[in-house]
Structure 1
Amino acid sequence: MKSVQDRRKADMALEEAVSLAHALPHLEVVGQTVVPLKRAHPGMLFGKGKIAELKDRFKAEEVDLVLVDGPVSPVQQRNLEKEWGVKLLDRTGLILEIFSDRAATREGVLQVEMAHLSYQRTRLVRAWTHLERQRGGLGFVGGPGETQIEADRRAIDEQLVRLRRQLDKVVKTRELHRAARAKVPYPIVALVGYTNAGKSTLFNRLTGAEVLAKDMLFATLDPTMRQVELPTGTTVILSDTVGFISDLPTELVAAFRATLEEVLAADVIVHVRDISHPESEAQARDVRTILNSLGVDDQVPQVELWNKIDRLDDEQADATRNRANRDDGIFAVSAITGEGLDAFLDAVTRSLGEEKRREDLILPYNQGRKRAWLFEKGLVETEAQTEDGYALTVHWTATDKARFDAL
C-alpha cells in the first residue's frame, strides 16, 4: 500500500514500492493500492472505514503480509496486525529485510544485523517469522509483557555490543586493504546512483566481472571493487556501490557508512542515472542529498551518466543526447549497447589528470624486475640493448610512473 506523498507522484511511488517487494524472491505480490491519507491516525494510521474495507480485501485475497510504503509507528503496527490478522512491514522494515537477504560479505552481514537490531529495539515485537532469513537469525526478540520487553532490550543491547566488536575488526581489515591499495597509486572511480540505475551492468561491461546485475532494486548491496585498465590506458580501481533510494532508513545510512567510505575515498565519482525513468530527476536529487549527508568533498570531480538511453524512442534519445552534449560533465550512454562510453571514459581520464606520455628510459641490466613490470603492464613500445642497459621507450601515465618508481 502507498499513502499519498506530496513530493512524488503517488503512482510512481507505488511502482517503486512494488519493485521493492519484488526484490524479495519469496514474496508474491497479489495486489497494490494507493490510500489517500490527509493525516495519519495516531493509533491505527487509517480511518475505521478504510481499515474495514482493507480487512475484507485481505481476507478475500488470503493476504499474509501487508507492506506499507511509509513510516508506521510500533503502536500502529501492533494495532493493524491485530485488526487485520496479518503481519505488517513498513518501508524501513521491508528495506531491512531486503538487505538481510542480499548482504554477501562479512561486513555487509554484520552491518545489516546491527541495523535490524537498532530498528527492532524501537519496536520490540516478534521477529518476522513470515520471512525466512538465510543468514543469522534475530528470532530471540521476544513477546509481549513488560518483563519480556526489558529482557529483549538487554538481549538486543548485548548483541549490538558483540556485533560492534566484530564489525570493528572487519573495518580494521578493510582499512589495511585500503592502505595497501594506497601504496599502489591507482585512482578510485566510484559508481553511485539510485538503485536499479544500471551501475552493476556498467561495472560488468567495463571490467568483465560477473556482478549480479538484474532489473531489480538493491541488486548490489556490497561494494565490489576491481582493478581495470580503461581503453584510454589509465589503470583505475572501479567501485560498484549499493544503490541509494529515497527515504533510506537512517539505521542503514549509519550502518553502511563504512561500506560507503569507498565513495569518500574516490578520486572521481560517477553518478549513474536511469534517464528513461519518469522520476529520474527526483531520484538524482535523492542521490545528491545522500552524498552530501555522507560528507562527500565538493572538490572531488563528478561525472553524470544518463544511462539506459537505449530504452528511449528515437526522438527522446536525440533530445537527451543534445541536452547532455551541452554540459561537459554529462554523458548520454547505454551500458547495454556501449553507446557513449568511450567519450565518458576519456572524460574520466581527463578528470584524473592521467594523460599518457612517451618517455625514453635507460634501465640497468640488474633491474630485471622493473623491466618485467613494464612489459607486464604493456607500457613498452620499443626496446634495445646498449652498453648501459636496456633502452626503452614507454607510453605511460603519471600514475604508472609513480608506481614504477616505487618498485
Structure 2
Amino acid sequence: MCDTIVITPKITGGKMLFAKNSDREPNEPQAMVFYPSQVHEEKELSATYIDIPQVRRTKAFLLSKPSWIWGGEMGINEDNVVIGNEAVFTKEHVSEKGLLGMDILRIALERASSADAALNIITTLIGNPGQGGNGGFTKRLMYHNSFIIADREKAWVLETAGKYWAAKKVDAIGTISNALSIGNDFDMIHPEAIEHAVKKRWCKSVDDFEFNKAFGKGLYALFSGGRFRKERTEKLIRDKLPLLTVKEIFEILRDHGDTQNITRGSMKTVCMHAGGIISSQTTASMVCEIDDITTVWVTNNSAPCLSVFKPVWFNNEESTLPYKTEEDGLKHWYHGERFYRNALKNYLKAREYFKETASNYELELQERVNTIFEEGTPDFEKLKDLSREAFEKSWKIVNSLIDKTSDMPPGKRSLYFKLYWLMQNREFKG
C-alpha cells in the first residue's frame, strides 16, 4: 500500500513537487540506487519475471528499489521525469507472468524524455507484453497499477486494469492511493475500455461509464484504506496552502491521522506502521523539488516519522549519493531499521528522542540547500559534500538513537502487536 502526490507549478509558483511513501512488507529492504546513462549492446533486458527488447541508450535515473525486484517503487530520471506507482485491485485477471508495475516504472524512467512520453511507454507496455506477476515479498500479492507521472511542466494520473487504462491531467493537485479514482473525468482512455466494460456488464452504457466503478473492486479499495488516504492527503495539502515547501510535504508523509498510537495499526494512515492484522509499512519515502536543478529528498529508511530526509542530486554520469552500490545503500536501510525495531517497544518515547536529536538537523539541511541555490548555480562537488555529510550525520544520529532506545522502558502495547513483531524480528536479516 502506498500514497503518491504531485503539486504543480500552478500552486507552488515555480517548482513541480512530487512525493511518495512506499508501503511494503516490514522486513523487505529498499534502497535508493543511482543508474548512469548507458549504451547497451545486449538485445534484451531481464525484468523481475520476463525479458523484453532492450533499447540502445538508457537515461540516468535515481530509483528507490526493493532489494529483490528489478524495478522500483519511485524514481526520477535525467530529464526530470518522475514516477510513482500504486497497487490497485481490479476486475481484470492478473497474469501469473508479466511486468510488475515497478518494472514498468523503471523502463519508463530509462526511456522517457517527458511525462507525455512516459505515459505512452507505460500504456504500450501494459498492452504488450502486459503487466503481471507476484508483487509480494513473502506473500502472494497480485495486482494492477496506477501511476503519477510528472516532469517540470506537466503531470498525469494514469490508472490501469490489465491492458485497459484511463489518464487524467493534473491541473493543480494530484493524489493517488490503492484505489481507482478516475471516473468519467478522464482526458485519455484506452480505445476499447468503455466497450469492454459494457460487454462485461460492469456498466449499462457509454453514458453510465466511470472507469473506477466499472473496473475497480470496491471491497479491496475499502479494505486497503486507499480512498480514505487519498482524501486525507488532499485535505492535508489544502490545509497547508498557500505555504507548500518540502517541510510541509515531509509533514504530510509523516501523518498518522488523529492518533499517535501506531501500535494499533491502520491502513488509513499515510505514514503506515505494520502490526497485528496490518502487514504493510512505509519502508521508503522520497520528495522531489523539480526545478532547473532538481533536489531529491530521500529517507533511505523505513518510517519517515523516525527518519531524516536527506538531499541528493545527480546528472547523467553520477549522483551525490555517498555510496555506489545497491548493497551499500541497503546497509543504510538496515542501520535505520535497528533503531526502528527498538522504537516499537515505546513508540511515543522513541519519537520524542528522534525529535530532540534529529528535527533541528533536518531543518538545517533545508536552510542550507535554500542558501546554496540562492547564491547561484551550485558546484556539483559542493552538492556531493552536503549529501555525504547528511548521510554521515544521519548515521551518527541513528547510532545515538539506538543507544537511547536500547534500554528504554516499554510502553503500552497489545499482546497481538508484541507477538507480531516478535515473529518479524525473528525473520529480520539486518
TM-score range relative to shorter protein: under 0.3
Higher relative contact order (CA 8 A, sep 6+): 2
Q: Greater helix share, 1 or 2?
A: 1
Please tell me whether Structure 1 or Structure 2 has the larger radius of gyration of its CA atoms: 1
